[in-house]
Structure 1
């Protein structure tokens, strides 16, 4: 079937009252315009409303992506930062909502950066800048941003991202640990958009494509704790060699 027809059917379902995750005309038009085929492995399933796993990351379902776009509320000419770009689909739709030169994106995994660049170029959005960075640090060289989208969960909004917002800017992210809420943070206020379930935000050393053994900060802390609790040689029971 024609991909254009499939995209229209996809967005129609997202606008239908059964899902009602897309409500604005601008988001509707953008999602009808951006092809999903370059961002998923299976062309036939590109427009199914389900998520995919690719290169160790989750490709969001159309419903999940639609909720992010509505919460972010991108205006024409807004500057946008995407943290955790993954395979690049959300960055492509955001480029359609503003302009590809206004969209910057980062990911902590180098191979996802290469993948996103290739996918965005194939989809016609090669002007989106994608860099390999620790997302918690943002991309200060191009700050401030009118909109920042964090596609990973965190217990608290990263301070660096809040500092990189322009006056009146908005940060959208999944907030929480085991229980998460999609929130928009703007001017110190939090607007809630319902429960979500995202992977936690990675820190440097946790990415799946590191050359050395993947030792995370959490692992290092656990090893340090166990080492501290382990008895040293002089603490061991004295051995009476005359009785051995």
Structure 2
């Protein structure tokens, strides 16, 4: 089927009252323009309202993108930073709203930066700057930004991102640890909490989405359990095949 038809169907479903996550005309037009199949390598599946996994990161479902960008409220000409470029789809929609020369995106994972650059160029948004950075540090060289979108969860607004907002600027992020909500941050404070979401926590330098497990505590607990098991004596050593040892 023609991708443009699938795209229209996708946007129509997001506008329908059963979902109600897409309300503004400008965002509706933008999502009808961006060829999602350039970012998700499944022709029909690209327009299904579900997330995908790619290179260790989650490609957001269209409804989640719509909810975040409705809260971000990007206007034409707004200097915008997307923290967590992923495969580049969200940055492309922002580029439709603000023009691609005003859009910057960063990601901590090098392979995703390369992926996003290629996808954006293929889709016609080669003017979007994509760089490898620690998201918590933002992109100070191009600050201030009218809008910043953080596509990873944090328990508080990262100070560097707040500092890089222009006067009257807006930061939108998944806020919280266990229970998360979309938060709108203005003047350094959470000004509004919207619907619930579930995002992976923000990575730190040295962690890569496609190579290292995100949660340090889980890694340490697993390693301690392994050392404890292998440190047992005698017949407690369940990891040894004692029958095989006796036969030898």
TM-score range, shorter chain: 0.7 to 0.9
Q: 1:28 to 1:217 in 2, by over 3 A?
A: closer
Matched, 1:27 2:27: yes
Deviations 1:177-200 (A, max 9, x none): 111010111133521111000011
The 8 Å contact of residues 80 and 146 in structure 2, kept in 1 or not, is answered as: yes
Partner Cα separation in structure 2 for residue 180 and residue 174 of structure 1: 6
> Following TM superposition, by how much is the alpha carbon of 1:209 offset from its aligned partner in structure 2, in angstroms?
4.9
CA, structure 1 residues 130+174, in 2 after alignment: closer, same or farther (shift >3 Å)?
same
- Which consecutive residues of structure 2, in runs of 5 or more, have no partner in the other structure? 225-248
Contact map agreement 1:110 1:209 (CA 8 A) in 2: no
Q: Residues 76-225 of structure 1: matches in 2 within 5 Å?
A: 76-187=76-187, 188-209=189-210, 214=212, 218=216
- Tell me if structure 1 keeps the 8 A contact 2:173–2:184: yes
Task: Tell me the residue number matched to 2:2.
Answer: 2
| CA RMSD between the two structures | 1.8
**8 Å CA contact retained: 1:205, 1:215:** no
Deviation at 1:38, TM superposition (A): 0.9
* Dislocated runs of 4+, deviation >2 Å: 214-219
SS at the partner of 1:162?
helix
Say whether the 8 Å CA contact 2:150–2:174 is kept in structure 1: yes
Deviation at 1:218, TM superposition (A): 3.3
3-state SS of 1:43 partner: coil
Q: Shift of the alpha carbon at 1:217?
A: 8.8
- Counterpart-to-counterpart distance in 2, 1:222 and 1:10: 42
| Contact 1:205–1:217, Cα closer than 8 Å, also in 2 | no
C-alpha distance in 2, partners of 1:12/1:217?
38
CA distance in 1, matches of 2:177, 2:65: 20
Contact 2:57 2:210 in 1 (8 A): no
Structure 1: tracts of 5 or more residues without a match? 227-244
TM-score, structure 2 as length reference: 0.85
Residue deviations 1:29-61 (CA, integer Å, cap 9, x gap): 000000100111211211000000000000000
Q: Deviations over 1:158-191 (max 9, x none)?
A: 0000000000000000000111010111133521
